Amino acid sequence: MGILKDIVQDIFSVKNSYVGGFKYKIVKIFGFKCSKSIGYKPEGQNNNIYIVENSVKKVVKKRVVGLDIGIKGNNNKIIINAPYNFNNCFIRIEGNDTIITIGESTTLNNTYLRAVNNTQINIGKNTTIGGGKIHCVSQNSKINIGEDCMFSWDIHIMSGDYHIITSPDDEKIINKGYFCNIGNHVWLGCGTTVCKNVEIAENCIVGTHSVVTKSCNEKNSMLAGNPAKIMKKNIEWQRQPDY
C-alpha cells in the first residue's frame, strides 16, 4: 500500500507552498509542476486585506496583480478600493493595529509602503505615483495623501526619522513624528522628500529634488529648494502634458 501511495504521489500531487508573503498551490502531474498564487500569508492574528468594489467589501483570496504584501503582527487592515492599478508595488506592515487605505482609481508604480505599530496610511482616489517610498515609521502617526495628487518618481514621504533623538538633560524625545498631510491635487516633482510633521495645502506644486521640512498652508503655491520655500503664489496646474 505504501509503494502504491508513493507511485500515485509521483504521478499526481497537490500541496500548498509559501514564498515570501504569497501562498501558492503546487500541482504535480506526471512529474511536471505548475503553481498558482491563491493569496497572501500574513504572519499573526486577525490581519485582513479587503477589496471594495461597488460599495461591497470582500476579503482578498488571491494575489492582487502587481502588489506584494507582507504583514507581521496582529489586527492590521489593508483596504483597496477598485478600480486600481499596481505595478511593482510593495506593502509591509510590522506591528499591530495598522490601517492602510488606498482610494479608487489610483495608479501606483514602483511604490513601497511601510508601516509600524498603530499607524495609518491613506491615499486618496485618482492619485498617481510614478515611484517612491512612503514610510509611516513613528508609532501612532498618520500619513494622509489627498485626492487627485500627481507624484513623480523617487518620492520619499516620512512620518518619522526611524531613530530617536533625545535631549541630554532629561532624555525627552525631541524628534517625535505625528503626521504628514498632503492636500488634494498636489504635484510632487521627482526626487521630492516630505518630512515628518509637515502639511502641504491643496493645489500646490513642489519642485524637483526639494526637501519639505516645514508646513505650507497657502493653497495654490509653488515650493522649491532644500529646505523648500514658497517661490510663487496663485498658481494652478493641470495633468495634461505640454507637448
pLDDT band at 22 (very low <50, low <70, confident <90, very high): very low
pLDDT digits (tens, 9 = 90+) for 41-64: 889 999 999 999 999 999 998 889
Q: What is the pTM of this model?
A: 0.83
Does residue 83 have a cis bond before it (omega within 30 degrees)? yes
Residues 6+ apart with CB under 8 A from 182: 144, 145, 146, 149, 157, 188, 194, 199, 200
Give the chain's radius of gyration (CA, Å): 22
Distance, CA of 12 to CA of 115 (rounded, Å): 42
Cell of 140: 501612532
pLDDT at res. 24: 46
Q: Which of 89-93, 159-163, 200-204, 210-214 has the lowest mean pLDDT?
A: 159-163
What element of type H or E holds 81? strand 77-81
Give the pLDDT mean for 32-38. 50
| pLDDT for the residue numbered 21 | 46
Single-letter amino acid, residue 180: C
Tell me, what's the pLDDT at 39? 63
